[in-house]
Homo-oligomer: A and B are copies of this chain.
C-alpha cells in the first residue's frame, strides 16, 4: 500500500496545537513546493521569541526562503490555519507564493478578506490564488478553546 501523507492543513493544525501548548495564540503554517513536498512548517512564536513579527506564516516563509536560497517562493503554496493579517498577507505577496490556503476567517484581525484586503490594491505586486475555509471548524475550535481557557 502506498504511504499516506497527512494533508498540509493537517500539519498546519499540528503546528497550531504545538503553539497553544507553548501559550501562544494557536496558529500554524506549512509551505509546500511544486511537488507537494513540505519545505517549511511553523507555529506562532511571538511570545517565545519576543518578536512581534513571529507569526506562523512569517516564520514559514523565512524558513522556506532559506531552504530554497531565494527570496522568491514561486510555485510554492502556503497553508495556514487562520486568515493572515495584513503583515503576513503582504509577505505572501513579496514571496510570490502561488496559492494561499487558510482555515478560519478572521473578521477581527484578517488582512485578506477583511480590513486592509492587501491583495486588492495595485500596491500589491502579486496576488496569490486564495482558498479560504479549509478545515475551518478545526482551526476555529482550536482558537476558541485557547481564548476560553484564558478568560
- Using a CB-CB cutoff of 8 Å, which residues 35-56 of chain A contact chain B? 46-47, 49-54
Q: Are B62 and A53 touching (Cβ within 8 A)?
A: yes
Q: Which residues of B contact A124 (CB under 8 A)?
A: 86, 115-116
In the bound complex, what is the Cα–Cα distance between A114 and B123 (angstroms)?
8
B118 touches A116 (CB 8 A): yes
Chain A contributes a number of interface residues (CB within 8 A of B) equal to 43
A116 and B90: CB pair below 8 A? yes
Q: How far is the CA of A46 from the CA of B70 in the complex (A)?
A: 9
Q: Would A91 and B53 be within 8 Å (CB), given that A46-B71, A111-B86, A117-B116 are in contact?
A: yes
Interface residues of A (CB under 8 A from B): 46-47, 49-54, 58, 61-62, 65-66, 68-73, 85-91, 94-96, 108-111, 114-118, 121-125
